[in-house]
Structure formats: C-alpha cells, structure tokens
Structure 1
Amino acid sequence: MFGLASAWIQFAVCLVLIGWGGVKLSHYGDVIAEKTGMGGTWIGLILMATVTSLPELVTGVSAVGFANTPDIAVGDVLGSCVFNLLIIVVLDFLYRKESVYTRASQGHVLSAGFGVLLIGFAGFNMLLSANGNMPSFWHVGVYTPIIILIYAVAMRTVFRYEREHMSAAVEGAAERYPGLTLKQASLRYAGAAGMVVAAALWLPFVGKTIATLMEWHESFVGTLFVAFATSVPELAVTIGALRIGAIDMAIGNVLGSNLFDILILAIDDILYLPGPLLSHTSQSHAVTALSAMMMTGVAIIGLLYRPKARVFKTVGWASLFLFSLYLLNTYVIYLYAN
C-alpha cells in the first residue's frame, strides 16, 4: 500500500506526463493531418478532438480491464465532459478582444445538440441501471450499440453540415510544418502516444489508492481528479488554438471531445466483463451527466444569443453560469459520493 504522499506524487507525475505527452500528441497529430491532406478540413478537426481524448480512452480501458474500478472509468468520462465545458470559460476569460460567444460560429450548436443527446442518454441509462436489471447482450448493456449508432449519426450529420455551410477552418495549412516529414511526425506521434498510454494505464490504480487513503468514493476521485488529469490535452490544445485566433477550432475541439468521450463509455462497457458497466457504478454519476447537459445547454444559449457584455470585465454571463454549474456539480458529487 502506497503512502498518501507517494500516491499524490504519482498522481502529479501522471498529470505531467499526460499533459506534456498530450500536447505533443495534438501537435504531431495536426502535422500528420496536414501531411496526409487532412489539415484544415472537417476530418482534421475531428482527428484533433479524438487525439486529445486518448487519455480518457486508455484510462477507461485500464480502469475496467485491469484495475477493476468501473466508477473511475465512468467518472473520468463524464467528469471530462464537464471539465471540457469549463474550458469555454477559460477561453472567454483569455480572449480579451470581445466575448468568445460573438466570434464562434453558430454551427457549433449542432455538435452541442448531439452532445446533449448522448450525455442525456447515458444519464438516463444510469438511472435505469439502478436496480441492476439493465437488459444486455451477454455482458454488454443494450445502451452501448445505441450510443455507437447515435455517435455515427452525429459524425455524419456534422460532416454534411460542415461541407454545405462552412468553409475550411484553417487555410494555408500546407506551409505550417515545412521542417517535418510525415515519417518524422509519425514516429514522434508514436513516442508521445506511448508516454500518454503508460501514464493513463497507471492513473486508475493511483486514483484507487487515493480514494482508499483519503476515504473518498471512487466516483468522486474519477469525476474530479482523474477527469482533470485526462483533460489536460484538451485544455492545452484549445488554448493553443485561441492563441492563433482559431476560435472555431478551439470550441470545436471541446464539443467534439465530449462526443467522443461518450463513445468511450460504450467502449468501456464492451470491455467490462462482469456485466453492463452502468449497473456496477454509483448513481451519483447521473448528477454529473445532468450537470454536463445543463452546461451544454448554457453554451448553446450563449452561441445563439451571442452576449457581448462581460461581468466585471472578466467573462460573459454565460461563462459565469458555466463556472457556477461546474462548482455545484463538484460540491454535490462530493456530498453524494461520500
């Protein structure tokens, strides 16, 4: 059994490795997208959102396949959805020219709407699974193939919308990385991926140790700490996009990551052999799902209403609501799970 200090040090190491490796993953993923002709297209943007969600995927696989901590797996997925939406608040605060909602394309409402649908469907099935009688195919919950289907429909719909209504998100990408070849980028991408995978595989074990030593429930640790650690790449990439003025890429990465995170929930369910995953986890995760839905709803309102005013010259009222909902979710999860 690790000591408490040792457990927190290991968590910090995992955080640093995932953060640094995640940034490199995103960078070289962008290079690969460019060199293969995908840079600046819908496929490139989806690739970025998928790449930054790699830590959640690996952590979930480790949690259900090796560490036997289903609450950490589910908490990581839904906690990441909530934290990703909090990133919009960071963007609004850092973008001093005007409110970020006035610059972002209203086309993001489509992916946000699918996010509400997927997250809501996951939360709905969490409540249905409370009595442990969730219908299943062998050990896989009946909700899993439906999540996969909804995700596929969402990707197809967003692709068709982008093709018909929006121009390429990034122009002139072919000249951004003249000093790197596709082979070099691929090798460095693989090295960064290995670092992220190693740290993410170990993270559930560290989270379980912290939960035990701190006498916290695994759902709280997964929702708050593990989710924060695995969301560091999204934060870094989104801020990086903001620095070059790519507001739509920043918002798209956040909302796209949330869609992929719910798909990860389905993947975790397939790999969790004792039975339907949601039948073996705490109902407190439904609180996080509802929080993510409300936060996405606030984001949709902000994108449509496009408020220009800032509260005390800091962030818009929509961002203030997002931050308040994040704090409320954290507080309720702590009370509910402990």
Structure 2
Amino acid sequence: MTITLLWLQLAGAALFILFASNYLAKSADVIAIKTGLGRSFAGVVLLATATSLPELGTGVSSIVVFDAPDLAAGDAFGSNIFNLMIIGLLDLYWRNGPILNRVSTTSVAVGALGILIISIAVIGLFVHDATTAMNNLPISPFSIVIFLVFLASMYVIYVLGRRQDSPEDESELPLYEGVSLRRSILIYALAALVVVGAAFWLAQIGDGLTHAMGWDASFVGTQFLAFSTSLPELAASFAAIRINAPELAITGVLGSNLFNMGFILLMDDIALVG
C-alpha cells in the first residue's frame, strides 16, 4: 500500500470521526437535560466515554491485531496532550470571557482527578522501567489501582454534579421540546458505533504508517493517531459551544482524559495478556 493512500485513509477516518462527533454532542445534551443527569455528569459519562472510544478501539486492536503496545500507550497519553490543547482552542472560539469562568466545581474535580490518575500511570511507567519484579504478573497492579480510582472518580463526580444542580440553573437550560429522548439515545448509539468503526480503521492505518515511514510505533501513536483519535473531543466540544453548553464541552474534554487513563490502560493490559 502506497504512503499516499495511507494518508488519504487517515484523512477519511478522521472525517468520519468528525462527522459523528457533531451528533454525539447534541444527543448527549438532550439526554443530559431530559433525564436530569446534568451537563457536568453527562459530559463525563456520555460525551467523554463516546469520544474516547477511538482510543479504546485503537489501543485494543493495536495490541491484539498488530502486537504494538507502544502504539496503544502512545495514543492514550498523546490524546491527553491534544485534549488539553482543545481547551485553549475553545477559549479562543468562545470570546465571551475566559471559558473556564463558566465551569463549575465539578469540572475542577474532573480535572484534578484526571491529574491524579495520570500521575499514578506515570509512576507505574517509571516503576516498570526500573524493575522487573512485576513482569511475570498477568496484569500490572498499577492498572488495577488506576481503574479503582477511576470508578471512585465517577462516583465523586456524580455526587458533586447532583449537589450543584439548582432550579435556577435548570430553568436556563434548553427544553428541547419536540425532541424525542428515545431518538436522541438512538442517534447517540449510532454515532458512537461510527466512531468505534473509524477507530479500528485508524489502528490499521497507524500500523501501515509505522512500517511505510520507518518510524517508531510510539512516535506514530503520540503524533498522528493521538491527534486523529482526539478529533471526536475537538468536534464534540465545539459543537457543545455552539449550543451554548460550555460546561458540557469542558467536562467532556477533561472526562476523556480521565477515561483514557482509568479504563483504556486496563483494557490494553487485559488485551496484552490475551
């Protein structure tokens, strides 16, 4: 396969992700309001989970299909870097004052918990690099700890989000009259499926670029795959801004970092064992 064709495929997969992510943001906002979950919690659970599916699909398929764990890890950590850049881009696009002034304590908690989980993951990398004592274990203890912290973080975010909900805030939210909750859930599910399919395609493209360009797998994962798999966060966040939902946008981006470390690294570890 020629290098030109690989780059065209990369662009095609990215376009699929961008297209589907626009529907993710709108449907997630409808679900958040009509179910009473709130935008903060919905941003983490619905938007962040769905937009992180490319990292999950790319990570697992990179290990299972292509035996490239460096590609999986590089994509997860690299996506976190691109996600943080998205917040800066959102601030430039918002132009109604600093966008971080519009977020609640829940968003701050999501960011802090993300820093905690990333710190644990980095410590795990250093420990595994410095010693071989845990090499014979089926799954890294750090992955288990990270996953448990991730679950605890979801509970904390839910509790904080519920406490901050107020009638005044709810009265300012769009009611989405005439928009069916069932239809929104269906659109959300279909858009997520498109994102997952494009993610597996990205894994194949990344492996092809690794061999065709002669680059190290971790470099490709960090630079190209990380950027492409962060496109859902980029598209969904800007879509959330367009419907005047900055809280949904910020928690979606920060929640994606939380999901990347808390869930995807564990799944990658399990896939590596398999």
The TM-score bracket by the shorter chain reads 0.7 to 0.9
For the 8 Å contact 1:41–1:170, the answer to whether it is kept is no
- For 1:297-308, list aligned pairs within 5 A: none
Give 3-state SS (helix, strand or coil) of 1:124's partner. Answer: helix
Aligned to 1:284: none
Shift of residue 52, structure 1, vs aligned partner: 1.6
2:152 is equivalent to residue 153 of structure 1? yes
CA 77–100 in structure 1, closer or farther in 2 if over 3 Å, else same: same
2:212 is equivalent to residue 213 of structure 1? yes
Aligned to 2:103: 104
Instruction: Indicate the percent of aligned positions where both proteins have the same amino acid.
Output: 36
Aligned residue pair count? 271
Aligned equivalents of 1:166, 1:181: Cα separation in 2:
21
CA 198–147 in structure 1, closer or farther in 2 if over 3 Å, else same: same
Aligned to 1:69: 68
Aligned to 1:270: 270
CA 41–28 in structure 1, closer or farther in 2 if over 3 Å, else same: closer
2:168 is equivalent to residue 175 of structure 1? no
CA 173–55 in structure 1, closer or farther in 2 if over 3 Å, else same: farther
TM-score of the pair, normalised by structure 2: 0.88
Give 3-state SS (helix, strand or coil) of 1:67's partner. Answer: coil
Structure 1 or 2: larger helix share?
Answer: 2
Shift of residue 11, structure 1, vs aligned partner: 0.9
Give 3-state SS (helix, strand or coil) of 1:272's partner. Answer: helix
Aligned equivalents of 2:179, 2:166: Cα separation in 1:
27
Aligned equivalents of 2:161, 2:12: Cα separation in 1:
39
Aligned to 1:294: none
CA 188–40 in structure 1, closer or farther in 2 if over 3 Å, else same: same
For the 8 Å contact 2:26–2:240, the answer to whether it is kept is no
2:38 is equivalent to residue 40 of structure 1? yes
CA 113–18 in structure 1, closer or farther in 2 if over 3 Å, else same: same
Range with bigger deviation, 106-115 or 215-224: 106-115
Q: Which runs of 5+ in 1 are unaligned?
A: 275-338
Aligned equivalents of 2:256, 2:50: Cα separation in 1:
9
Shift of residue 262, structure 1, vs aligned partner: 0.5
For the 8 Å contact 1:56–1:261, the answer to whether it is kept is yes
TM-score of the pair, normalised by structure 1: 0.72
Aligned to 2:77: 78
Cα RMSD of the aligned pairs, angstroms, is 2.5
Shift of residue 47, structure 1, vs aligned partner: 1.6
Shift of residue 195, structure 1, vs aligned partner: 2.3
Aligned equivalents of 1:179, 1:161: Cα separation in 2:
28
Shift of residue 34, structure 1, vs aligned partner: 4.8
Q: For each residue in 1:23-67, what CA deviation from the matched residue of structure 2 results, as whole angstroms up to 9, or x when unmatched?
A: 3234334444555x2453554232222122111111112112212
For the 8 Å contact 2:25–2:237, the answer to whether it is kept is no
- For 1:16-27, list aligned pairs within 5 A: 16-27=15-26
CA 171–227 in structure 1, closer or farther in 2 if over 3 Å, else same: farther
Q: For each residue in 1:179-230, what CA deviation from the matched residue of structure 2 results, as whole angstroms up to 9, or x when unmatched?
A: 4451x44444443333222221121121111122222111111111111111
Aligned equivalents of 2:109, 2:184: Cα separation in 1:
32
Aligned equivalents of 1:106, 1:186: Cα separation in 2:
27
Shift of residue 109, structure 1, vs aligned partner: 2.4
Which residue type is aligned with residue 15 of structure 1? A
CA 170–247 in structure 1, closer or farther in 2 if over 3 Å, else same: farther
CA 29–103 in structure 1, closer or farther in 2 if over 3 Å, else same: closer
- For 1:219-230, list aligned pairs within 5 A: 219-230=218-229
CA 7–164 in structure 1, closer or farther in 2 if over 3 Å, else same: same
Shift of residue 108, structure 1, vs aligned partner: 2.5
For the 8 Å contact 1:49–1:256, the answer to whether it is kept is yes
- For 1:91-170, list aligned pairs within 5 A: 91-131=90-130, 133=132, 135=134, 138-167=137-166
Aligned equivalents of 2:166, 2:49: Cα separation in 1:
21
For the 8 Å contact 1:34–1:40, the answer to whether it is kept is yes
Give 3-state SS (helix, strand or coil) of 2:221's partner. Answer: helix
CA 224–105 in structure 1, closer or farther in 2 if over 3 Å, else same: same
Aligned equivalents of 1:260, 1:38: Cα separation in 2:
22
For the 8 Å contact 2:41–2:161, the answer to whether it is kept is no
CA 132–3 in structure 1, closer or farther in 2 if over 3 Å, else same: farther
